[in-house]
Structure 1
Amino acid sequence: MKEATSADKELVLNILTKSFQDNQSVNYLIPSDSRRLGRIRALMDYSYETCKLFGKVYLSDDKKGCALVSFPDRKSTTLKSLWLEVKLIIAAIGFSNISKAISREKEISKNYPSPDLYYLWFIGVAPESQKNGVGGQLMSELLMEAASMGRPLYLETSTLKNIPWYQKFGLNVYNQLDFGYTLFLIRNDQ
C-alpha cells in the first residue's frame, strides 16, 4: 500500500462511494433523495479530507482498494476542519440530521478502546475487484502499521457478513450499538 496523494483523491472517492452506497451506517445519515449518491460522495470527501488532516489515506498498490485512517487523539478544531463540517452538513447529511449525527458519534466514541487508537474509518475495494485479495492485503498492512505505532486498530461495521472477514485478521466484535440498525464495534486485542 502507499499513501494517497491529492492526485489520487477522485479515485479514492469513486471506490468508497461505490463500495458504501448500500451501507446501513452510511445511509443512516444520508437522506434518501434524488441526491443520495452525491451525498454519499460528499461524506467520503469529508472523510478523505479529515483523514488527510488527522490521519492517513492509503491506496492499494494496484489502486483497486483504499483505506481512510484517523487518529482521534490528533484531531483538533481548525478553520479547515470547521469548514469541512459545514460542507458535510450542506452537501451530505443535511440540517435535519445534525443532532442524529452528533449523538451517534458521541455514543460511538464513548466505546473507543483507548484514547490513542488507529481508527479504520473506511476500507473499500472497487466492486469489480472484490474477492481478489486486495482488501486482505490492505488489512494486513494496516494491522502491521497499527502494531508498529503501538495503537489498537478499531473500526465499526453495520455489515454482518463482513464480521467473519475481520475475524480472519484477529479482530473481534467487542460491543454492539442499536441505531435502528446494529453497529458492530470491532478491534484487535493488542
Structure 2
Amino acid sequence: MASKTEHKRKVVEILLLAFEQNKSVNYICCDDALRYTRIRLLMEYAYKVCNRYGKIFLSEDENACALVLFPDKRNSTFKSLFWDIKLAFQVIGLDNISKILKREKEIKKYHPVMPFYYLWFIGVHPYRQGMGKGSSMLQTVLADAKQMGRPVYLETSTLENLPWYKRFGFTIYAEMDFGYRFFLLKNNTPANE
C-alpha cells in the first residue's frame, strides 16, 4: 500500500496530465510560463480540500482517480484559509482574483441547498484513456453517492465528455459562458434504487 505522500503524488500527477488542456482549469490558472506549475498547485489544493472535506478515490491500478467534496462539511479554519490564500497568490494570481471569485459565485447560485456529492475532478492518465478506467471510476463514485443518499453534481467545460456523463444518468441543468461553454450536470439517482 502506498504512503499518503505517494498516494497524493499519484493522484495529483493523473489530474495534472488529464486537465492540462482543460478550458476551465486554464481559466483559473494564469496562462503564463508557470501554467504547468500552477495547475499542479491547483490539483494539490483540491487534494488537500477533498482529503479534509470529502473523499479521494484512486483506482487499484493507479491510473484513474476522483476528488469528491461535500460542500456542507466544509468550514473555515485557519488551515483552510491559509490554503485559500496560497491558491489565490500561487495559482490564480492577483489580477485574476476578482474574475475567479465572480465565476465561483455564479456557479454556486446553481448548487442545491441540500447536502450533495460534488464530483470536483475525475481523471484518467492520458496513456490509459479509452480503456474503461474512467467509467469504472465514475461507477465507484456513483455507488458511493448512492450509498450516502446524495445526488451528484459536477461541472465540465469539455463538450466531448457530455455524452459520456449522459450514459451514466447525468443531465445538464445549466449552461454558462465564461468565454468558453461551461456545463453544470447532476445525477439524481435515488438512494433506494
Q: TM-score, normalised by structure 2?
A: 0.94
Q: Does 1:10 align with 2:6?
A: no
Q: How far apart are residue 14 of structure 1 and its match?
A: 0.6
Q: How far apart are residue 189 of structure 1 and its match?
A: 2.4
Whether the 8 Å CA contact 1:57–1:69 is kept in 2: the answer is yes
How many angstroms apart in 2 are the aligned matches of 1:105 and 1:89? 13
Q: Does 1:189 align with 2:185?
A: no
What percent of counterpart residues are identical?
48
Match of 1:102, SS state, is helix
List alignment gaps of at least 5 residues for structure 2: none
How many angstroms apart in 1 are the aligned matches of 2:125 and 2:4? 18
Aligned length: 188
- What is the correspondence of 1:152-163 to structure 2 with a 5 Å cutoff? 152-163=151-162
1:122-168 deviation digits (Å, cap 9, x = unpaired) = 00000000011111001011101101111000000000000000011
Letter of the structure 2 residue corresponding to residue 85 of structure 1: D
Match of 1:77, SS state, is coil
Letter of the structure 2 residue corresponding to residue 76 of structure 1: N
Letter of the structure 1 residue corresponding to residue 122 of structure 2: I
Match of 2:65, SS state, is strand
After the TM superposition, which of the residue ranges 85-94 and 69-78 deviates more from structure 2? 85-94
Q: How far apart are residue 113 of structure 1 and its match?
A: 3.3
Q: How far apart are residue 5 of structure 1 and its match?
A: 3.6
Whether the 8 Å CA contact 1:158–1:181 is kept in 2: the answer is yes
List alignment gaps of at least 5 residues for structure 1: none
How many angstroms apart in 2 are the aligned matches of 1:115 and 1:20? 29
Q: How far apart are residue 31 of structure 1 and its match?
A: 1.2
How many angstroms apart in 2 are the aligned matches of 1:5 and 1:58? 13
Q: Does 1:112 align with 2:111?
A: yes
